[in-house]
C-alpha cells in the first residue's frame, strides 16, 4: 500500500490457492477504418474513448513507486483512470503530465497514509478538482476498516479550494470471511452515508483463499449501490503478474460481477525494485502492468462464456399457510430476482401447479452467506388446497437466463402442509 513493504499477515500455512479456472483470451488485432470503428462500438455498447463496454469493470493504474522514465511513457499502460499514491516515487516526475496520460480526469482515487490527507490535497491541486474517491485505512497488519469517528473526521477534512471530502470515503481491508471481525466492521462502515465504497487488497498469485470471501464481499458492496475496488499488488514469488491476474479474474467472473462498471481492477507494483515493472520489455513479457492492462482490455471486449449455474435456495417453512417462506437465487444474475414455482402433491410434471412468486424480499442472513440480500420469498397457499387435508409442497428456483431448463428443486423440498378450510 503506502510504504511499498506491505505483506500479508495471515500465516502461509493457512492459505490455499483457489483457481476456479484460468481465463484464456485470444488477442485478435483488427484494423478499422473511418467511422466503421465508431459504428461497431455503438452497436456493441462500447465507450468509444476507452474501448470499454458500458457494462464492464474498469481498470485503474496505481502509480505507487513510479520512476521518472516510466512516467514519461505512461500512455503505454493507460487504462480508465488513476489510483494516486505519488509521494513514494522519486523526485523529477511531471505529475500533471502523468495524470493526463493516465486519464485521471476519467476517474481518480487518492490513497493516503494513516492519519494523513496530503495525497487527497495533492490530487485536487494537480487535477484542479476533487478525487472521485479517497482511500483511508488502518495499517495494523490486518487493514481493519475505519471506525465511525475516523470516517467522520476524514470526511470533514477540507481540501484547500474545494471544500470537505464529504461522501467520497473508501474503506480498505483484506478479508470478508465468516468469523473474521473485518466482515462485520466493513459492513458497519459501508452503512455510513459518507462511505462511497470499499477496496479489497490481496496478492492474486501468492495466495487467494476462498474463505476470505472477496467475491461475495464485492457483491455485497455492489448490492448497496457502492463501488468495489480490487487492489492487486503483484507477488514477488511468481514472476508472472499476468498469470496471477488471470487467476483472480477467473475467481471473480462467476455471477456477472465483472460486468459491473462499479467494479475497479487496480493494478499495482509494490516492493520495488522487484520483478514486476510498468513497461513491457517485449511481446512475451508477462510481468508488467502494460501487459496486464492490454490483456484486461481485450478480455472485457470478448469475455469467455461461463457455464450457466442452476439457481439455489431453500423452502424453509410451511407451518403458516399464509406465510410459506424460503429463498431462491440465481447466482449468475445476483441482482435479478429469481422466480419460484410451486407444485402440490408431486414434482413438476406430475404435481399440480399451484402458483409463482418472485424471490425479491430482503433477507439479512443471505447478505454474508452469498453476498447479495434480496432473494427471500413469502407465499400464501391458494384456496383450493385449504381443505383440511395434508399435502406435499414442492418449490423450484427458476433460472433467470435459460428458458425451460436448469431449474432447481429448492433445498428442504418437499414439505408437508395442512390448511384449514
Average pLDDT over residues 294-310: 86
Domain membership of residue 60 (yes or no) is yes
Domain membership of residue 331 (yes or no) is yes
Of the candidates 270, 301, 332, which is a domain's last residue? 301
Q: Is residue 342 domain-shared with residue 278, that is, in the same domain?
A: no
The answer to whether the pTM exceeds 0.95 is no
Q: Is residue 218 domain-shared with residue 146, that is, in the same domain?
A: yes
Q: Band the pLDDT of 372: cuts 50, 70, 90.
A: confident
Domain carrying residue 353: 312-418
- Beta carbons of 364 and 187 less than 8 angstroms apart: no
The string of pLDDT tens digits covering residues 303-334 is 877 677 889 999 999 999 999 999 999 888 88
Of the candidates 254, 275, 301, which is a domain's last residue? 301
The string of pLDDT tens digits covering residues 271-283 is 665 678 999 998 8
Q: Is residue 255 domain-shared with residue 364, that is, in the same domain?
A: no
Average pLDDT over residues 108-127: 95
Q: Is residue 190 domain-shared with residue 268, that is, in the same domain?
A: yes
Res 39: pLDDT? 35
Q: Is residue 247 domain-shared with residue 374, that is, in the same domain?
A: no
- The H or E element spanning position 173 is strand 169-173
How many domains are contained in the chain?
Answer: 2
CA distance linking residue 146 with residue 155, whole number of Å: 12
pLDDT at 194 exceeding the cut of 90? yes
Number of Cβ atoms within 10 Å of the Cβ of 38: 12
Q: Band the pLDDT of 226: cuts 50, 70, 90.
A: very high
CA distance linking residue 324 with residue 246, whole number of Å: 43
Domain membership of residue 5 (yes or no) is no
pLDDT at 158 exceeding the cut of 70? yes
CATH of the domain at 407: 2.60.40
Does a cis peptide bond (omega within 30 degrees of 0) precede residue 273? Answer: yes
Q: Is residue 265 domain-shared with residue 234, that is, in the same domain?
A: yes
What does 124-140 look like in DSSP terms, one character per residue? Answer: HHHHTS--SEEE----S
Q: Is residue 289 domain-shared with residue 323, that is, in the same domain?
A: no
Domain membership of residue 194 (yes or no) is yes
Domain membership of residue 406 (yes or no) is yes
Res 274: pLDDT? 62
Of the candidates 281, 301, 321, which is a domain's last residue? 301
Q: Is residue 264 domain-shared with residue 288, that is, in the same domain?
A: yes
The percentage of the chain sitting over the pLDDT mark of 70, rounded to a whole number, equals 85
C-alpha cell read off for 421: 378450510
Q: What proportions of the chain, in percent to the nearest 5, are helix, strand and coil?
A: 25, 25, 50
CATH of the domain at 116: 3.20.20
Q: What value, to the nearest 5°, has the Cα angle with vertex 58 and ends 302 and 16?
A: 85
Domain membership of residue 34 (yes or no) is no
As a whole number of Å, the end-to-end CA separation of the chain is 66
Q: Is residue 294 domain-shared with residue 317, that is, in the same domain?
A: no
Q: Is residue 244 domain-shared with residue 387, that is, in the same domain?
A: no
Domain membership of residue 33 (yes or no) is no
Domain membership of residue 118 (yes or no) is yes
Q: Is residue 46 domain-shared with residue 171, that is, in the same domain?
A: yes
Amino acid at each position: 500500500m503506502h510504504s511499498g513493504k506491505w505483506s500479508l499477515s495471515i500465516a502461509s500455512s493457512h492459505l490455499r490457492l483457489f483457481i476456479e479456472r484460468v481465463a484464456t483470451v485470444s488477442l485478435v488485432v483488427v484494423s478499422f477504418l473511418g467511422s466503421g470503428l465508431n459504428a461497431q462500438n455503438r452497436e456493441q455498447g462500447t465507450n468509444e474513448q476507452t474501448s470499454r463496454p458500458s457494462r464492464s469493470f474498469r481498470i485503474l493504474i496505481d502509480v505507487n513507486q513510479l520512476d521518472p522514465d516510466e512516467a514519461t511513457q505512461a500512455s503505454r499502460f493507460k487504462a480508465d483512470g488513476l489510483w494516486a499514491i505519488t509521494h513514494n516515487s522519486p523526485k523529477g516526475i511531471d505529475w500533471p503530465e502523468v495524470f493526463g496520460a493516465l486519464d485521471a480526469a476519467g476517474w481518480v482515487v487518492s490513497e493516503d497514509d494513516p492519519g494523513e490527507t496530503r495525497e487527497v490535497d495533492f490530487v485536487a491541486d494537480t487535477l484542479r478538482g476533487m478525487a472521485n474517491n479517497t482511500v483511508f485505512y488502518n495499517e495494523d497488519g490486518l487493514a481493519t476498516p475505519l471506525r465511525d469517528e475516523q470516517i467522520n473526521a476524514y470526511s470533514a477534512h477540507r481540501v484547500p479550494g474545494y471544500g470537505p471530502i464529504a461522501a467520497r470515503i473508501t474503506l480498505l481491508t483484506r478479508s470478508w470471511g465468516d468469523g473474521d471481525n473485518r466482515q462485520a466492521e466493513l459492513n458497519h462502515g459501508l452503512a455510513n452515508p459518507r462511505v462511497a465504497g470499499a477496496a479489497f487488497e490481496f496478492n492474486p498469485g501468492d495466495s487467494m483463499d476462498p474463505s476470505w470471501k472477496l467475491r461475495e464481499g464485492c457483491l455485497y458492496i455492489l448490492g448497496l449501490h457502492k463501488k468495489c475496488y480490487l487492489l492487486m499488488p503483484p507477488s514477488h514469488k511468481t514472476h508472472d503478474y499476468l498469470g496471477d491476474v488471470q487467476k483472480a479474474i477467473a475467481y471473480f467472473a462467476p455471477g456477472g460481477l465483472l460486468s459491473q462498471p462499479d467494479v475497479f481492477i487496480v493494478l499495482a507494483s509494490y516492493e520495488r525494485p522487484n520483478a514486476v515493472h510498468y513497461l513491457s520489455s517485449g511481446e512475451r513479457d508477462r510481468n508488467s502492468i502494460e501487459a496486464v492492462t492490454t490483456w484486461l482490455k481485450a478480455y472485457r471486449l470478448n469475455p469467455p462464456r461461463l457455464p450457466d449455474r442452476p439457481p439455489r435456495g431453500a423452502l424453509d417453512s410451511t407451518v403458516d399457510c399464509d406465510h410459506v417462506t424460503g429463498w431462491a437465487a440465481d447466482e449468475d444474475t445476483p441482482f435479478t430476482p429469481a422466480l419460484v414455482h410451486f407444485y402440490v402433491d408431486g414434482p413438476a410434471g406430475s404435481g399440480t401447479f399451484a402458483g409463482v412468486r418472485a424471490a425479491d424480499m430482503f433477507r439479512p442472513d443471505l447478505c454474508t452467506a452469498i453476498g447479495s440480500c434480496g432473494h427471500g420469498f413469502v407465499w400464501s397457499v391458494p384456496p383450493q388446497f385449504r381443505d383440511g387435508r395434508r399435502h406435499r409442497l414442492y418449490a423450484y428456483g427458476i433460472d433467470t437466463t435459460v428458458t425451460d431448463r436448469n431449474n432447481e428443486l429448492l433445498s428442504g423440498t418437499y414439505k408437508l402442509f395442512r390448511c384449514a378450510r
